[in-house]
Amino acid sequence: MKALLTLSLFIATAAFAQTSSPSAKHPFTFDDMMALKRVGAPVPSPDGKWVVFDCEDVDLAANTKISHLWIVPASGGGSRRLNPTPNHEERPRFSPDGKRLIWTSKATDPTQIWMCDFDPEAGQLIGKPHQVTSIARRRAEEEQSESENFHKALLSALERVH
């Protein structure tokens, strides 16, 4: 499994490699670093055909960053955006049968878990994604860590899938 995740990360990173000829050599700058896409959370599909990951872009002028879901065939090939929305989306996970995809989205505030049917043959979402949690903000002294809330909500969402 560890080898598959390493391979997945390699595939995802290679998918964003520049294919055009490099421009004149110059020192690597902060702007160059910020222009790089940040690939994270590669997750192979249960059937091993696909790798879904989040990819973050930084907009220095707007002082923002946003992450979207991407997919690439595990056997190699080009990557593509999986869910073309303007929302910040990350932490993708497949249902055990590979027929649903779950992720977090900032389509609402605070971040919630969203789910959509997934076509494992075509490697694409089917239908419209829908929100599966309604985690409310609480006062700071009552608030659990974001990670703990996420994991509890993810387990709850996965239990509903079965």
In this prediction, residues 66-77 reach a mean pLDDT of: 93
Round to whole Å and give the CA distance between 154 and 68: 19
The per-residue pLDDT for range 129-162, each reduced to its tens digit, is 999 998 887 655 455 566 677 777 777 777 776 5
User: Shortest CA distance to 50 belongs to which of 24, 11, 20, 83?
Assistant: 11
Sequence-separated (6 or more) residues with CB below 8 Å from residue 56 = 37, 38, 40, 65, 66, 67, 90
Work out the pLDDT band at 120, boundaries 50, 70, 90: very high
145 compared with 2, residue with greater pLDDT: 145
Long-range contacts of 51-55 (CB under 8 A, 24+ apart): 51/8, 51/11, 51/12, 52/82, 52/92, 52/94, 52/101, 53/8, 53/9, 53/12, 53/92, 54/89, 54/90, 54/91, 54/92, 54/103, 55/12, 55/16
